[in-house]
Structure 1
Amino acid sequence: MARFWDGVGVRLRTAWVAVLVTAVVLVLGAVGGVFVLRRTLTDAMTDTLVTAARDLADQVSQSDERDLADLEWTLGLRTGVAQIVDARGAVVWGFPGRAPFTTSRPPPGGEAAVERAGGMLVAVQRADVDGTPYTVIVADSLQPVNLTTFTAVGLLAVAVPVSLLFVGGLTYRLSGRALAPVEGIRSQVASIGGGGGDLSARVPVPPTRDEVAGLATTMNQMLDRLESAQAAQRRFVADASHELRSPLTSVLGGLELAEQDGWRTDPETLRTMRAEAVRLRGLIDDLLLLARADERRTGAPREEVDLDDVVAQERSRLRRTSTLLVRARLVPVKVDGDRQALVRLVRNLVDNAARHARTTITLAVRPDGDTAVVEVADDGPGVPDGDRERIFDRFVRTDGARGREAGGAGLGLAIVAEIARRHHARIEVGDSPGGGALFRVRFPRHAE
């Protein structure tokens, strides 16, 4: 049953559910309605018979035994009949010679009793005449009640199926109209997926403000993101190919010269080839790191890291490898993260500053509330306001002095941004007091 139900379309499934729910409601309503109708008719007849029996009993009580045979009384019912029965069970008034409609005898002073007998509803009331007990019987046929009930059942037997057909057809039609925009979205997305990867098309957005319009808007937003990601991926592949081609060309050129000279290569050419090979290896490492980050497979262990020690190591390295003046203000502070990744982040920021600084680099580590702040500043040309977001893109090209042409492959700051994201850190770019660029990274502090 479940397998069959899974193969049914949404429109037909919706119609079936609507028919089943409506059927349950209508059947329960019809049964309850017939029951209430019959009960109401029976109660009305009961009240009428009880009132008639009480009235007749009062009239009998005010008569004497000699006048009972000539008692004149109108029942007031179209089909009702009445009898007066003495203590021996003989009918003394109303159909004399016929057996009583019921053999029930009410107690003295009791209320009228009501029962069913022979397809009739019978009300029985006691009346005393000069101390002699008599039984007053008033009866009426249940045939009108039964006829009305059967008529109602017959009408419902026709009305319920017709109503179910109407509900099923209407639901099927309305659900089809409601799902038409969804089908349009599906067909449009299918054409986008099968159209050679062209993500420039968009799905139609209905003019309504319902869930379908929200779905169409969300799909278009997703297509926007996919198109942007596709464009970024194509740029990334093109730029990566360009960056890899340059050192490969240098290495291959050096090898060709060495082959032409009988493999008697001068030291300068070897040093150039070695530098290009090192650059190529660095590019490949950076690309692999970013690729693993894109695939969310960078599950390095988290540990407690002294952020000031990481910056102090980079300060020592920079002092050994450059002639720049390196200033540092380091306050002990701890964070939770991947130590190797944090070392890479600080090193990339320091190398970026060293590449653009004129004379001085300033490093700082300090706590700030519930964050740990790392600052790297230089006295170089700075970063224009319009480029402060773009410089963290991969292989970014800028018009200022911090473009890729100034050195590097344009992956260092992209790696910084990725490591910061993995550590839930926030990067800020501003102007340093020395007139250059200031990079500030805020990490969540280690919970003591």
Structure 2
Amino acid sequence: MGTRLRLTAVATAVSAVVLVAASVLVLALFQRQVTDNADDLATSRAEDLAALAAAGRLPDLLTDIGDDSVGQVIGPDGSVLAASASLGAAPAVTDRLGSEDPVRIDLDGVPDDDETEDYRAWLVTAQGPDGPVTAVVGTSREAIREDVLALGLALLVAMPLVLLAAAALLWFLLGRTLRPVEDAHLRQRTFVADAAHELQSPLASYRTQLEVAQRQDDPAGWRAVVSDLLAETDRMERLVRDLLFLARQDSSASAMSLVDLDDVVLEEVARVRPTTAVDVDVTGVSAAPVRGNRDDLARLVRNLLANAVRHASARVQVACRQDATGSLLVVEDDGPGVDPGLRDAVFERFRRGDPARGHAAGTGLGLSIVRAVADRHGGTVRVADGGGGARFEVRLPRV
């Protein structure tokens, strides 16, 4: 969460800087465009007035030059031939008259009701019957500033909304991007914590037994110590093996192929029968093809069988079959069963099950591995209602 928040904050800050720079550039370009358009319009209107003056068709009062514009036509002798109301009868300009090319000038302090206004004006000269006439048309600078200010306010209002939307999008995208990394980091921390927790007890037992044997200095007693240490070593090996298997299931993909689940079940049952006096019934095993990793599926079946044999009173029933939705594997024992309130908890790592099912030796990872393998194969595992004991059902997708 901290990394995600920091990255979102940094990316949002960078976005804000980019947006501010882009807004300044847009405002500058917009101001340039508005000014150029005003100049083009003023020049065009001045050319029209000059042409009318040269043709002798000017009205005394110029009205058709725009709401934010002023105009005036000056004759060859410097007198005003026509003007808009705000410019009046006095010439707005006395120099640069008669220029062959359009000339830009500033008209400052032009009366406008009770106020004055500044204009950006253009002079255009045309040849009349009595000599050159000059048309002056100006566009209000205030009108240009108002247009730029309106865009600036719009950008100022829109920018926080854009940044907020960008931050939300960045938060979402970074969450999706960083989730695999955070999950991998969490798995690593969990693996280390689990290993440290579970290995602490056998290592402490090692030290205790060795220290006691060292103080007693009894050669005959070392045989018992060695036997106990070997038993603890075997448990530690199984624990490390299970932890590594879970780590591999969490972090890497397994090669998938077509597997006959019934063959895997029969092989694992044949492996477990010589090690237990519990009767393992396989009459319910029938064809059940699945797509998966054979070694992982064998591990799943092996752990379910080991759990069932460990808690059974006398009998374990194993069945598998294929139906319309996929393949179903069932392992059921006649032991004390699992309390309904703990049916999901038994699949947690290092959860050694319902106290009613005893405290048989185990790493507490067997059923976690079963769930991990089922999840990796797109399947599910659950504890279902049985005939008194525990009934585990694994459902895998249809091939």
TM-score range, shorter chain: 0.5 to 0.7
Query: 5 Å matches for 1:341-420?
Result: 341-396=296-351, 400-402=355-357, 405-420=359-374
Partner SS, residue 220 of structure 2? coil
Structure 1: unaligned runs, 5 residues or longer: 1-5, 54-74, 82-117, 123-137, 183-209
* One-letter identity of the residue aligned with 1:335: V
- C-alpha distance in 1 between matches for 2:207 and 2:256: 42
Q: CA RMSD in A?
A: 4.8
User: Is the contact between residue 30 and residue 148 of structure 2 (CA under 8 Å) also seen in structure 1?
Assistant: no
Query: CA 1:393–1:271 in 2, change beyond 3 Å: closer, same or farther?
Result: same
Letter in 1 for 2:277: T
- The AA in structure 2 aligned to 1:275 is A
Equivalent residue, structure 1, for 2:389: 436
Is 1:320 aligned to 2:274, yes or no?
Answer: yes
Output the CA distance in 2 between the equivalents of 1:14 and 1:36: 32
**Residue 14 of structure 1 aligns to a residue in which SS?**
helix
**Closer, same or farther in 2 for the Cα pair 1:284/1:142, shift >3 Å?**
farther
The superposition leaves residues 43-62 of structure 1 with CA deviations (integer Å, 9 ceiling, x where unpaired) of: 5776x689x88xxxxxxxxx
Distance 1:356 1:20, change over 3 A: same
Q: Given the superposition, is the C-alpha separation of residues 321 and 121 from structure 1 closer, same or farther in structure 2, using an over 3 Å criterion? A: farther
Unaligned runs of 5+ in 2: 1-10, 61-72, 76-123
Q: 1:424 aligns with which of 378, 388, 393?
A: 378
Say if 2:110 is the partner of 1:155: no
| Cα deviation 1:297-354 (Å, max 9, x = unaligned) | x344333322111111122223222222222222223333322221111111111111
Q: Which amino acid aligns with 1:385?
A: P
1:309 to 263, 276, 279: 263
Give CA deviations for 1:392-446 in whole Å, capped at 9, x if unaligned.
221126554257x3431211111222222322222222112x2222222222344
Say if 1:427 and 1:442, in contact at 8 Å, map to a contact too: yes
Describe the SS at the equivalent of 1:143: strand
Equivalents in 1 of 2:315, 2:162: separation in Å?
67
C-alpha contact (below 8 Å) 2:322/2:328 kept by paired residues: yes
Tell me the equivalent position of 1:263.
219
Identity of aligned residues (%): 35
Label 1:176 to 1:77 Cα distance change in 2 as closer, same or farther (>3 A). Answer: closer
Deviations 1:64-89 (A, max 9, x none): xxxxxxxxxxx6644799xxxxxxxx
Distance 1:30 1:429, change over 3 A: farther
Counterpart check, 1:120 vs 2:106: no
Mean CA deviation greater in 213-222 or 324-333: 213-222
Is 1:244 matched up with 2:250?
no
Contact 1:348 1:412 in 2 (8 A): yes
Which structure carries more strand by proportion?
2
Asked if 2 retains the 8 angstrom alpha-carbon contact of 1:15 and 1:172, the reply is no
Alignment of 1:279-290 (within 5 A): 279-290=235-246
Query: Which of 231, 243, 247 is matched with 1:291 structurally?
Result: 247
Q: 1:212 to 1:300 in 2, by over 3 A?
A: closer
Give the aligned length.
Answer: 325
Counterpart residue identity of residue 422, structure 1: R
Partner of 2:111: none
Work out which structure has the larger RCO, using CA pairs closer than 8 Å and 6 or more positions apart in sequence.
Answer: 2
The AA in structure 2 aligned to 1:283 is L
Q: Secondary structure at the match of 1:381?
A: coil
How far apart are the structure 2 equivalents of 1:336 and 1:27? 68
> Residue 35 of structure 1 aligns with which residue?
40
Given residue 20 of structure 1, which amino acid in structure 2 is its aligned partner? L
Superposition pairs of residues 25-174 of structure 1, within 5 angstroms? 25-39=30-44, 42=47, 77-78=59-60, 119-120=125-126, 143-144=134-135, 147-148=136-137, 151-152=138-139, 155=141, 159=144
Distance 1:361 1:175 in 2: 69
The answer as to 2:8 corresponding to 1:22 is no
